[in-house]
Amino acid sequence: MPSGSVVAIVAVPSFAGVPRMGIAVWAGLLATALCSVAISYWAAVETDETEIPGAAWYRPLFALLPALQAALVIWFGSWAMPAAWGMLLVALVSFVRHRDTVMPQSRLLLSGRGLRNAGAEARQRFTDWRGDKGGPAPSVKEQLNQLLDRVKGSLSKATPSSRGGSRGKAKTTKGKHAAKKATASPAAHDAFTLYRKDGNVLMSLPLSGGDKATVSANVRNTQKLLMGAVRGGATDMVIDPDGKHYLIRIGVGGGLREAEKVPAEAARGVIATIRVVAGMKSGEPGGRGEFSMAIAALRCQVQVASSAEKHGEKLVLTITQAADSLLHARLEGLGLRPKVFEQLKDMTRKPHGLLIIVGPPGGGRTSTAYAILRELDAKATKITTIEENVECRLDGVTQIAVETTGGASIASVLKMVLRQDPDVIYLADLPDKTTLELACQAALTGHMVFAAMEGRDALGALDELLETGIEPMLVQTSLTGIVAQRLARRLCPKCRVPIDPPTALLRKCNLQPGAIGRIFRQREGGCQVCTATGFRGRMAIHEVLAVNEQVRRLITKPLPMRDVKAAAVLNGMFTMQVDGLSKVLQGDTAIEEILSVTS
């Protein structure tokens, strides 16, 4: 040490009296308890959604685990900590094993894709918890309070009135964010509000129906029917004349059922009210219109179609809840098989080309298109959509609504959009030859074009493209692929009935007898959950035609349909019926439903 140096001696406390082991044990015990609480909440949510065998035993088990683990550690010491974690792991694996028996393939956790399914499930749970992503994220303290409230609700489900504890909290959170987005409108959180097509408020009433002195009977009856349909989960409502009465039928899960009979005079008043709200011309029956409505925080889009029947005017209403179908649509949530999923993602990553989405009206084409658009980076990519009705706003995407009634056309708007040189274009329809030619030319000049059109299947759509009179060479060089889809009803998981798979089904799917233990069919008469239909919700079945060189050479006029189908199957395409039958084997739907949808 050099002479003259100064040495500073600092006394560092050793904390010899601090019980490090005790602190570590209690920290581990606290972590175990928090994990038990989180797993208890998750198990309660899963049990609410589907009937899991023996689920009644898991709630008290997960609730008692923290106390039992603490008793073990206090009684036997720190070495019991691994045993506490082991108890939690055994209980969790047991619950997941029972859970997977009633879940579709895409949600299985104890499977080859278990980690991917768990990640997708966790992301969806976080999205539902956080609410609309356009609103501010809750703070850590708020999230912790919400979690504790939900766990308390999930553990106190002894009475029917508290049945929806944890899920109800999540929906309330989403409702708060939805209300923030609607602050510009006069609609209150507890009001029923009708909006014109342009978004302006037409009227806002209390959910109870309002004062009879100030609100007409026609408006009250209209409010009652619309609220009943939405709260019943309906996607369609038909008001059909039948002599002295009108039949009100609602569509839930893809099938129509009679809801009630309404006297003719009252029904005609409801029809007149809906025509005014939808902006339809007065006079003779016929025409189309649209409007939107908000029931508290739930916003719905309604398409209206009118026709003249023998006994009067018939209305068909198509109800879309954007928050459920479009706002959260994701490609991984479409139910695609792994190979088809990767195939479709490869198509969306191409720098240019034309990808067409085909399906019947109300078949989910818009949801699929929006899911594809969400796969793209809107910040790094210029995306423009051209639609007759913008059903859902996408962040970072330029969305153009085309007023065709005012003389505008999709083709004219597309010409204007191409001058702005976007990277990706979505066309909600290909109504004529001019629009199709422009779409093909845009795909050949460096743009990725997604388009939707009506059709039965992929090959039928290809034939229809050529029938417009467009040059086959233009389709050959621009077309990347065609995605066809339809919606099939999903079996109710609470009342579905197991049966042995027919030999013909196994042969169709290239499976040996005994390869599949059981499949399911709907129960006659259903249950209360599925409103006596045997089905609950809908699912998509798909057919993806990837256009490779072999298929491209066959695109001529007239189209050699058999040769194109053979080339597509050799290229790995599964027909829509085969895709549906694979979902039958997974227990998601019934054979009769797939045969009915694909016939």
In the predicted structure, residue 494 carries a pLDDT above the cut 80: yes
pLDDT tens per residue, range 536-560: 777 888 999 989 888 888 998 888 8
Helix pair 55-76, 81-100: axis angle to 10 deg: 170
The residue ranking higher by pLDDT, 124 or 321, is 321
User: Residues 146, 52: one domain?
Assistant: yes
Residue 313 lies in a domain: yes
Residue that the structure tokens 């290229």 belong to: 571
Candidates 469, 430, 472; CA nearest to 449 is 430
Find out whether 547 and 481 touch, Cβ atoms under 8 Å. yes
> Looking at the structure, do residues 489 and 586 belong to the same domain, yes or no?
yes
Tell me what pLDDT residue 253 has. 58
Which has more pLDDT, 299 or 428? 428
Residue 117 confidence class, pLDDT cut points 50, 70, 90: low
Res 141 pLDDT > 50: no
Reported as a pLDDT band with limits 50, 70 and 90, residue 97 is: confident
Distance, in Å, from the CA atom of 50 to the CA atom of 558, rounded to the nearest integer, reads 50
* CA neighbor of 236 nearest in space, from 324, 293, 318, 294: 318
Q: Kindly report the number of other CB atoms within 10 A of residue 362's CB atom.
A: 16
- Match 């001019």 to its residue by tokens: 434
Strand arrangement, sheet containing 353-359: 398-401, 383-387, 424-427, 448-454, 353-359, 479-491, 535-546
Backbone angles phi and psi of 319, in degrees to 5: -105, 125
The tokens describing 440, both together, are 């093909």
**3-state class (DSSP) for residue 505:** helix
Asked if the structure places residue 58 within a domain, the reply is: yes
Residues 489 and 580: their CA atoms lie apart, in Å, by 11
* Residue 118 placed within a domain: yes
Residue 387 burial (CB count, 10 A): 20
* Same domain, yes or no: 254 and 345: no
Angstrom distance (rounded) from CA 464 to CA 410: 19
- Local structure of residue 560 (DSSP, 8 states): -
* pLDDT tens, residue by residue, 246-294: 999 887 755 677 778 888 888 989 999 999 898 888 767 778 888 888 8
**263 preceded by a cis bond (ω within 30 of 0):** no
- Output 285 or 204, whichever has higher pLDDT: 204
Q: Is the Cβ–Cβ distance between 337 and 573 less than 8 Å?
A: no
Q: Are residues 98 and 209 in the same domain?
A: no
**Based on the domain organization, do 518 and 483 belong to the same domain?**
yes
- Shared domain check, 223 and 146: no
Residue 420 domain-assigned? no
Please say which residue of 264, 290, 320 terminates a domain: 320
103 pLDDT more than 80? no
Residue with tokens 């233990």: 517
Instruction: Give me the helix-helix angle, 114-130 and 165-181, nearest 10°.
Output: 60
For 107-200, strand residue ranges (E) read 191-195
Q: Which residues contact 194 (CB under 8 A, 6 or more apart)?
A: 201, 202, 203, 204, 277, 291, 292, 293
For range 4-32, the mean pLDDT = 61
Distance in angstroms (rounded) separating the CA atoms of residues 135 and 144 = 18
Out of 113, 143, 178, pick the residue that ends a domain: 178
Same domain, 228 and 104: no
> What is the C-alpha to C-alpha distance for residues 411 and 396, in angstroms, rounded to an integer?
23
Domain boundary among 148, 178, 208: 178
Query: What is the amino acid identity at position 547?
Result: V
Same domain, 491 and 562: yes
- Token digits of residue 376: 């793209």
Residue partners of 241: CB distance under 8 A and separation at least 6: 264, 267, 309, 310, 311, 312, 313, 314
The order of strands in the sheet holding 287-295 is 201-206, 191-195, 287-295, 298-309, 312-320, 236-242, 245-252, 255-263
Looking at per-residue pLDDT, the higher value among 135 and 40 belongs to: 40
Query: What pLDDT score was predicted for residue 488?
Result: 85
245 shares its domain with 115 = no
Angle at 508 between CA 506 and CA 509, to 5 degrees: 65
What pTM value is reported for the model?
0.56
For residues 295 and 238, membership in a common domain is answered with yes
Q: How many domains, in total, are found in the chain?
A: 3
The answer to whether residues 173 and 210 belong to one domain is: no
Q: Looking at 41-50, 89-98, 179-188, 353-362, which range is the least confident one?
A: 179-188
State the pLDDT at residue 440.
95
Query: How do beta strands 479-491 and 519-521 pair?
Result: unpaired
Indicate whether 405 belongs to any domain.
no
C-alpha to C-alpha distances, 408 to 1, 366, 383, 415, nearest whole angstrom: 91, 21, 21, 12
Residue 333 belongs to domain with CATH number: 3.40.50.300
**Is the residue at 357 inside a domain?**
yes
Q: Is residue 435 part of a domain?
A: no
What pLDDT does 186 receive?
39
Reported as a pLDDT band with limits 50, 70 and 90, residue 426 is: very high
pLDDT tens digits, one per residue of 366-398: 888 888 888 888 888 899 999 887 767 788 889
Domain that holds residue 84: 20-178
CB atoms within 10 A of CB 309: 11
CA pair distance 449, 386, nearest whole angstrom: 11
Q: Are residues 314 and 334 in the same domain?
A: no
Overall size of the chain counted in residues: 599
Inside any domain, residue 63: yes
